[in-house]
Each structure stands twice: as C-alpha cells, then as structure tokens.
Amino acid sequence: MAPFAVLLAVVLTWGLVSGRMARYSITLPIVLVVVGALLSATGVVMVELNSESVRVLVELALSILLFADATEISARWLRSSGRLPVQDHW
C-alpha cells in the first residue's frame, strides 16, 4: 500500500509545483522515474521484472507516454518544419 500512497503524494505534489518545474524542463515522467528508482533502491518497492503483469504495465505506460508526447506537437510546427526528405529518382 505504501507505493500507492507515494504515487498519490507525488501526483498531488506535481499538481502544485508543475508550473514552476516547467521552467526547468522537468516533466511528470521524469519525476515518476526518479521516484520509482528511489523507491526500488531503498527497498520500498520490490518488483519481479520477469512477470507478465509487469510487461503489460510497462507496455501500457510506454504507449500512454508516447501518445501524450505526440499530442504536444502543434500542426503549425509540423507545417513550418519543412518538407519531408524525398529521394530524387533521375
């Protein structure tokens, strides 16, 4: 139960300080990775990395993060970034 309490505390704290952390390019995924590393290093969280549930959880987290990052790209930036590289056929 302690890991869930820590996760809840991190997310709530992030809600309070996210504006200030954005100035330093610190994002929630970075904070969650650091907190996860600290929890596993101190022995608070013990995870069997070879289990099927961990694989599914990691795949789900990766797909959510990739989708969230993709939604932050503006259409204006895509249009102004230039053309796609195309190989000329002579």
Between CA 39 and CA 34 the distance in angstroms is: 9
Query: What type of residue is 47?
Result: V
Query: What pLDDT, in 10s, does the model give residues 24-46?
Result: 888 888 888 898 888 888 887 77
Query: What pLDDT, in 10s, does the model give residues 47-76?
Result: 777 888 888 888 888 888 888 777 777 777
The burial class, CB within 10 Å (0-12 / 13-18 / 19+), for 56 is exposed
Domain ranges of the chain: 19-79
pLDDT at residue number 83: 65
pLDDT at residue number 87: 62
Higher pLDDT, 36 or 89: 36
Closest CA to 36 of 64, 57, 63: 57
Alpha-carbon torsion angle 11, 17, 21, 22, nearest 10: 90
pLDDT at residue number 48: 77
Identify the DSSP state of 84: P
